[in-house]
């Protein structure tokens, strides 16, 4: 099936919701609970870890349910996608609206509970939607294009959405050194984000409905026992293990980085809220660039080689602002060129990060086909949900480690930026630079063992085409 640009666009558009959630948890949630409400950084990170841990276990089962679900009108995937939309938006608003005068334990429970709820409903969208992406096309290269659309929309609209939100809702008032410390901004801002997330999922789900009659039919229903059996079989596949462990290692580092992003930009570089939006813009532009670079790399070099190169490049780009800061090669915080330097380094990083992630996700779609040749079954939902399981557990560990690292360097709670010592700033810079670089690069140890290349995959494709 040849995909129209319209279908590609509408498929990718739903992942705007994922992008908003990512930025909320990267820039706002941790900072809100730690610096605005005063929750200990370890418990803030621990709450996020618990929510991701619970969420991870739901993934394979939602994947299996969507694999086996039957609806003549809405197919296997779309009912789950649609059902998730409204509860997700409501939960986003509630996350930023805890009751006043809560104890630390009550705040911890509130953050944990609504993070679990948010991630559960987002999983109800993401896992079926990613499985849908593997079903929409069988073409080796077009899968990379489709995945690039998904990842591009995860980032593309973020800066516009957040610029509007920050500009209208976050206003610096007397007594706050940054508008992010203003507690009154978070309620309307979260309502605004929740509405956009809901609408993006609804528009995408309805917009891709026309593809349902052309999609592959499900295999027979799988029991929980058989799901576990499928996962065990998948873990015996070198190609599957390679992608899962590579992705896991990348996201451990990503989780740590996400936890401390607001801290790094605020306390290392002294950026205000609008300047922080430029970093989101870098991610968005990088996502758009990856729409072209990821498929080109995959076609030119083979997906494995292209992903290795992308990983090295985004590791350098993501950590170089902080490595260069440590050796005094970055412009000073008073120098107006600083924001441009950081912007272009992050732009470089995100271009190759999203290119690498689109390639690795496309590789997983190829692994599903390899599995079908061996098992005579198609279980996209279980495969992608298992990948999602690994991602969530490891990024959750990253958030936990991030909170622990903030505690280990004695980062204060509810403290003005003027009161942060140079020692703490240096420690934060080391974490964001050399430490994260080593973790990112270590992911390549798993990727080099990925066995499928274009030639091997073509043999798999020929077998499946003959069966069809």
- Position 312 scores a pLDDT of 95
Identify the band that residue 327 occupies on the pLDDT scale cut at 50, 70 and 90. Answer: very high
Please report whether residue 1 resides in a domain.
no
- Position 348 scores a pLDDT of 95
Please report whether residue 3 resides in a domain.
no
**Contact at 8 Å (CB) between 94 and 24?**
no
pLDDT at 125 over 70: yes
Secondary structure class of 288 (helix, strand, coil): helix
End-to-end CA distance of the chain: 13
The angle formed by the CA atoms of residues 294, 20 and 444, to the nearest 5 degrees, is: 40
The angle formed by the CA atoms of residues 155, 160 and 161, to the nearest 5 degrees, is: 85
pLDDT at 417 over 70: no
Q: b/e for 76-90, b at 16 or more Cβ within 10 A?
A: bbbbbbbebbebbbb
Report the alpha-carbon distance of residue 438 to residue 252 in Å, rounded.
Answer: 12
Q: What is the Cα 284 distance to its own chain's centre?
A: 13
Q: Between 181 and 71, name the one with better pLDDT.
A: 181
- Position 33 scores a pLDDT of 93
| Helical ranges in 176-237 per DSSP H | 186-207, 224-235
pLDDT at 153 over 80: no
- Rounded to two decimals, the pTM is 0.75
Please report whether residue 5 resides in a domain.
no
pLDDT at 260 over 70: yes
Token pair of 18, please? 């994922």
Please report whether residue 4 resides in a domain.
no
Report the alpha-carbon distance of residue 336 to residue 342 in Å, rounded.
Answer: 11
pLDDT at 221 over 70: no
Please report whether residue 2 resides in a domain.
no
- Position 430 scores a pLDDT of 95
The 3-state secondary structure of 251-281, one letter per residue? HHHHHHHHHHHHHHHHHHCCCCHHHHHHHHH
pLDDT at 6 over 60: yes
Counting residues of the chain whose pLDDT is more than 90, the rounded percentage is 30
pLDDT at 145 over 60: yes
Token pair of 424, please? 């703490």
**Angle separating helix axes 5-13 and 104-136, nearest 10 degrees:** 170
Report the alpha-carbon distance of residue 302 to residue 94 in Å, rounded.
Answer: 45
Question: Domain range holding 379?
Answer: 10-214+223-467
Report the alpha-carbon distance of residue 468 to residue 463 in Å, rounded.
Answer: 9
Please report whether residue 345 resides in a domain.
yes
pLDDT at 194 over 80: yes
Please report whether residue 133 resides in a domain.
yes
Question: What is the count of structural domains for the chain?
Answer: 1
Counting residues of the chain whose pLDDT is more than 70, the rounded percentage is 88
Using CB atoms within 10 Å of the CB of residue 245, give its burial: 0 to 12 exposed, 13 to 18 middle, 19+ buried.
middle
- Position 272 scores a pLDDT of 80
Q: Which residues contact 316 (CB under 8 A, 6 or more apart)?
A: 349, 437
Q: How big is the chain, counted in residues?
A: 468
**Contact at 8 Å (CB) between 313 and 423?**
no
pLDDT at 197 over 90: yes
Q: Residue 411 belongs to a domain with what CATH number?
A: 1.20.1250.20
The angle formed by the CA atoms of residues 98, 100 and 102, to the nearest 5 degrees, is: 80
- Position 134 scores a pLDDT of 67
Identify the band that residue 47 occupies on the pLDDT scale cut at 50, 70 and 90. Answer: very high
């Amino acid at each position: 099936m040849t995909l129209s640009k319209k279908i590609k666009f509408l498929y990718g558009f739903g992942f705007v919701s994922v992008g908003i959630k990512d930025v909320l948890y990267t820039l706002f949630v941790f900072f809100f609970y730690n610096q605005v409400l005063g929750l200990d950084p370890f418990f803030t990170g621990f709450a996020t870890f618990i929510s991701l841990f619970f969420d991870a276990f739901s993934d394979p089962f939602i994947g299996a349910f969507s694999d086996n679900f039957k609806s003549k009108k809405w197919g296997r995937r779309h009912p789950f996608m649609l059902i998730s939309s409204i509860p997700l938006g409501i939960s986003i608003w509630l996350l930023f609206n805890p009751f006043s005068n809560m104890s630390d334990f009550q705040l911890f429970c509130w953050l944990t509970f609504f993070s679990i709820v948010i991630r559960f409903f987002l999983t109800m969208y993401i896992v079926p939607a990613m499985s849908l992406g593997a079903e929409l096309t069988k073409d080796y290269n077009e899968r990379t294009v489709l995945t690039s659309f998904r990842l591009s929309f995860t980032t593309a609209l973020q800066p516009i959405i957040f610029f509007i939100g920050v500009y209208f809702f976050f206003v610096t008032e007397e007594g706050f050194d940054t508008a992010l410390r203003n507690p009154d901004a978070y309620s309307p801002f979260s309502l605004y984000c929740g509405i956009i997330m809901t609408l993006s999922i609804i528009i995408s789900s309805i917009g891709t409905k026309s593809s349902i009659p052309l999609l592959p039919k499900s295999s027979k229903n799988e029991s929980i026992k058989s799901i576990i059996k499928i996962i065990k079989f998948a873990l015996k596949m070198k190609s599957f293990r390679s992608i899962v462990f590579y992705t896991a290692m990348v996201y451990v580092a990503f989780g740590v980085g996400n936890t401390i992003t607001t801290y790094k930009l605020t306390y290392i570089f002294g950026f205000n809220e609008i300047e922080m939006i430029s970093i989101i813009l870098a991610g968005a532009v990088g996502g758009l660039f990856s729409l072209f670079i990821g498929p080109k790399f995959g076609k030119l070099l083979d997906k494995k080689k292209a992903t290795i190169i992308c990983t090295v490049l985004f590791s350098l780009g993501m950590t170089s602002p902080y490595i260069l800061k440590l050796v005094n090669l970055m412009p000073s915080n008073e120098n107006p060129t600083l924001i441009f330097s950081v912007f272009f380094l992050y732009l470089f990083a995100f271009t190759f990060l999203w290119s690498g992630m689109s390639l690795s996700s496309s590789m997983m779609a190829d692994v599903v086909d390899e599995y079908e040749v061996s098992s005579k079954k198609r279980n996209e939902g279980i495969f992608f949900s298992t990948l999602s399981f690994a991602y969530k557990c490891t990024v959750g560990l990253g958030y936990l480690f991030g909170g622990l690292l903030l505690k280990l360097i004695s980062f204060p709670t509810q403290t003005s930026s003027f009161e942060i010592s140079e020692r703490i700033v240096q420690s934060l810079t080391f974490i964001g630079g050399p430490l994260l670089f080593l973790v990112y690069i270590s992911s390549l140890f798993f990727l080099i063992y990925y066995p499928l290349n274009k030639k091997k995959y073509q043999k798999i494709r020929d077998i499946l085409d003959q069966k069809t």
